[in-house]
Every structure is written in structure tokens, then in C-alpha cells.
Amino acid sequence: MFANPETIIRQCALSEGMQVADLGAGSGAYAIAAARHVRGGKVYAVEVQKELLTRIQNEASHAHLTNIEILWGNIEKYGGTKLKDASMDFVIASNVLFQVEDRNAFVREISRVTKPGGRVLLVDWSDSFGGMGPSGEHVITKPIAESFFISEGFLVEKEVSAGAHHYGILFNKPVVSHT
């Protein structure tokens, strides 16, 4: 019924050695799922709530995953994730777009850390569901979500099946030719 991180990550064709950022990592479910697919690479779980970072670290240890690094950071501030420019092959933004106050700044930060040719997975609520997820006025519709990323130069690659009450979109950051 609800979004399953492992099922969603499997649709994204992650590969060994990739550098992945999970922005607004929350409980770490996406970071853990991604870490299993990028052995030899690294997953950076970025979260502003320090107690959640401790939980992610404990979950990673319990799952014997040594390729997750937790980072305390502000995903809504340019440079706030503490990740290097153009350093990520893949960025995950799950169930955070509806929560951030400055969505343009959030997408700019995603663009800053994503390598040219890199990809972004956006998963968010498609509706308000019986007290779960955001209230109706906080739901960011798929077309509006796409517009934030398109305005920052991303291209829609494909839709990802994300469960009954979520949408999933894979974006690609084009490689800019200087010819």
C-alpha cells in the first residue's frame, strides 16, 4: 500500500561503486536499500534531526553495511548538505518535497551535488490519505514537482512505481556540451 524503498530502488538501476545521497534521509530506509546496491560505493544519509542520524547508523550496523556515512546537514540551504559540488551519481529525495519550505533552494542544492549525467529519484505523496502523510494543502502534485526540477535544468527520465499514495520520478541532469 505505501512506498517500499527496496522495491523503488530496484527500479533505479543503481550499480556498484556509485556515490549516492539520501537527502532528508529520515529513518534511513532508502539509504539502507541503496547501500545494498552500491557496494564499493558510498551512500550519504543527510538529515537535520540528529536522533534520526543515530537511528540510521544503528540500522546500518545491524545490517552490516559499512558504506553508509551519516551527515548532519540542512537540505534547504545551498551548500547545507556539506557534500561536494557535482559529487553524486544518484540523489534520493523521498517524502521531503512536501515538507521543505524553500523548494527552489532544495532543488538547487540537489542540482549542485549531482554530477552531470547523474540522476535524481523523487518520491512524494500523491494525496492525503486518512491522516497519513501531509494534509491536502501540503501535497505537492506530480506536475508541480516536475516543474521545480525542470526549471533547474533536469530532464524527466521516467516514472517509477511508488505505491498507491506516492508518485516516483527519475530525473536526469544533462551533460552540458561546451562546443
CATH number at residue 139: 3.40.50.150
| Paired sense of beta strands 166-172 and 68-72, if any | unpaired
End-to-end CA distance of the chain: 48
User: pLDDT higher for 159 or 165?
Assistant: 159
pTM more than 0.75: yes
Tell whether 109 is covered by a domain.
yes
Domain annotation covers residue 178: no
Determine, yes or no, domain membership for 132.
Answer: yes
Instruction: Establish if 131 belongs to a structural domain.
Output: yes
**pLDDT at residue 9 is higher than 70:** yes
CA 22 to chain centre: 5
Q: Does some domain include residue 85?
A: yes
Amino acid at position 91, single letter: V
Residue 164 has a pLDDT of 84
The pLDDT score that the predictor gives to residue 128 is 67
Is 77 among the domain residues? yes
**Measured between alpha carbons, how far is residue 127 from residues 66, 77, 81, 131, 153 in Å?**
36, 27, 28, 11, 26
How far is it, in rounded angstroms, from Cα 167 to Cα 17? 27
Q: What is the dihedral of CA 124, 54, 91, 94, to 10 degrees?
A: 0
Lowest mean pLDDT among 2-6, 104-108, 123-127, 169-173: 2-6
Query: For residues 95 and 106, what is the distance between their CA atoms, to the nearest angstrom?
Result: 13
Range of the domain at 106: 5-172
- Nearest 5°: the CA angle 93, 67, 7 is 45
Kindly state whether residue 177 falls inside one of the protein's structural domains: no
Q: What is the DSSP string of 153-169?
A: T-EEEEEE---TTEEEE
Whether 14 maps to a domain, the answer reads: yes
State how many domains the chain has: 1
